[in-house]
């Protein structure tokens, strides 16, 4: 019995020694395989895909139309019919001036016309009587000519009276102030009860049309040939982004390429028009614009984070089959949506480093991992 227990104990001790030896041997092998100089990196494949050729610019949103609503006659502002910031439509009532002085002027003009028309009718009856008398030689011809001249004079007077009536009606119509276009009202500039004048510089309210809305921007003159070539096919598409580029604000098209280059800046002024259905663009807002000039068909692309800039231009690190980093100088055709189009320098299927380049040099051993390396 004692021999059996001794034998079992020796077996357990031997197994423990063997396990410890194997563990240390494996650790030594692993340490030998991973060099202290090996850099952990994240990689991505070079892929072929259709990619838009995009140029970026900074623009300012502008109202498609902007109107300062002013009084066209002098009078007291009786009523303000709009709410600040309200969406209004063409023809909507905005304000009402006191119409009574203008109604009185209209009645006076109507009465003046009636008086002059009555005088004309009386002279025409005199002319009819004088014509019969002059035919019989009872009165001189001069009397008939004078009466005829009075008729023509009174005819002109009645026409002038009608013009005064039309003018009074127009002035009375100006006491009702309506929206001249669809748009959004701004701050109220005059309160009800104040006197307003046609010569006032402030006006009553500013209305801006933001559906659609335009964005004004400039591009380098070197981009003009590509821009015009794209316009000959179709209006170039434009995407507006928030100032930090994180939020898309809308898609539009270029509606204006100015007819001359600004010689002082070497740029060409352009405008893009956006439907702005969601009101994400606002007059005066600064935005980032991506102008699509063309589409690179079946182009070689890499994540934009793989491209680095050095003294000799753009470059990427490619992981070779031996597990080392190879520095490649590349020619970047365009960058959009987080991917760069590479015109020269890499081949389809190659692995480029997207994270961890800061520790790499040509020939550095690398270890590919599935997550970004933790900076220590």
Same domain, yes or no: 193 and 286? no
| Secondary structure (3-state) at 85 | coil
* pLDDT tier for residue 122 given thresholds of 50, 70 and 90: confident
pLDDT by residue (tens digit) across 48-92?
Answer: 988 877 888 999 999 999 999 999 999 999 999 999 999 999 999
DSSP code string of 51-69: EEEEEEEEEEEEEEEEEEE
| Listed residues 274, 296, 318: the one ending a domain | 296
Mean pLDDT highest for which of 12-21, 173-182, 336-345? Answer: 173-182
| Listed residues 278, 296, 314: the one ending a domain | 296
> Quick check: 236 and 228 in contact, CB under 8 A?
no
Q: If you ran DSSP here, which 8-state letter would residue 36 be given?
A: T
- Compute the distance between CA of residue 52 and CA of residue 332 in angstroms, rounded to an integer: 13
> Quick check: 217 and 270 in contact, CB under 8 A?
yes
Which residue range is the domain that position 274 belongs to? 55-64+205-296
Q: How do 47-69 and 313-319 pair as beta strands?
A: unpaired
pLDDT surpassing 90 at residue 164? yes
* pLDDT tier for residue 139 given thresholds of 50, 70 and 90: confident
Same domain, yes or no: 302 and 292? no
What confidence score (pLDDT) does residue 37 get? 73
Same domain, yes or no: 143 and 254? no
Same domain, yes or no: 163 and 183? no
What does each C-alpha distance from 289 to 51, 56, 58, 279 come to in angstroms? 17, 5, 6, 17
* pLDDT tier for residue 238 given thresholds of 50, 70 and 90: very high
The model's pTM: 0.68
Examine residue 112 and state whether it is found in any structural domain, yes or no. yes
* pLDDT tier for residue 36 given thresholds of 50, 70 and 90: low
State the Cα angle at 240 between 238 and 246, rounded to 5°: 135
What confidence score (pLDDT) does residue 117 get? 92
Examine residue 21 and state whether it is found in any structural domain, yes or no. no
| Listed residues 296, 327, 351: the one ending a domain | 296
Same domain, yes or no: 224 and 286? yes
| Number of domains the chain contains | 4
Examine residue 23 and state whether it is found in any structural domain, yes or no. no
Mean pLDDT in residue range 15-37 = 50
* pLDDT tier for residue 26 given thresholds of 50, 70 and 90: very low
CATH of the domain at 347: 2.40.420.20
124 or 186: whose pLDDT is higher? 186
270 or 376: whose pLDDT is higher? 270
């Amino acid at each position: 019995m004692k021999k059996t227990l001794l034998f079992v104990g020796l077996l357990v001790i031997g197994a423990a020694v063997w396990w410890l030896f194997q563990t240390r041997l494996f650790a030594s092998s692993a340490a030998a395989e991973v060099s202290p100089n090996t850099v952990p990196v994240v990689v991505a494949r070079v892929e072929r895909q259709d990619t838009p050729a995009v140029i970026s610019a900074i623009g300012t949103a502008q109202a498609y139309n902007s109107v300062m609503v002013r009084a066209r006659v002098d009078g007291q502002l009786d009523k303000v019919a709009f709410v600040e910031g309200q969406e209004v439509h063409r023809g909507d009532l905005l304000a009402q001036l006191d119409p009574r002085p203008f109604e009185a002027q209209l009645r006076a003009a109507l009465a003046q016309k009636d008086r002059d028309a009555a005088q004309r009718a009386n002279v025409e009856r005199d002319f009819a009587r004088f014509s019969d008398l002059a035919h019989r030689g009872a009165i001189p011809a001069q009397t008939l000519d004078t009466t005829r001249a009075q008729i023509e004079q009174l005819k002109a007077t009645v026409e002038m009276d009608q013009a005064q009536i039309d003018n009074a009606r127009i002035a009375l119509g100006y006491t009702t102030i309506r929206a001249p276009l669809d748009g959004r009202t701004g701050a109220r500039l005059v309160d009800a009860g104040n006197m307003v004048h046609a010569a006032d510089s402030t006006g009553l309210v500013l209305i801006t049309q933001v559906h659609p809305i335009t964005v004004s921007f400039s591009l380098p003159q070197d981009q003009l040939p590509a821009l015009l070539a794209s316009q000959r096919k179709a209006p170039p598409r434009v995407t507006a982004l928030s100032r930090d580029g994180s939020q898309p604000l809308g898609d539009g098209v270029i509606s204006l390429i100015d007819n001359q280059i600004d010689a002082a800046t070497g740029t060409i002024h352009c405008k893009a028009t956006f439907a702005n259905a969601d009101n994400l663009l606002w007059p005066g807002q600064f935005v980032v614009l991506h102008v699509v000039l063309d589409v690179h068909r079946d182009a070689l692309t890499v994540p934009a984070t793989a491209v680095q800039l050095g003294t000799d231009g753009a470059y990427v690190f490619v992981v070779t089959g031996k597990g080392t980093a190879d520095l490649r100088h590349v020619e970047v055709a365009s960058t959009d949506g987080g991917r760069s189009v590479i015109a020269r320098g890499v081949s389809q299927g190659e692995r480029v480093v997207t994270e961890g380049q800061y520790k790499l040099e040509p020939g550095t051993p690398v270890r590919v991992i599935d997550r970004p390396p933790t900076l220590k």
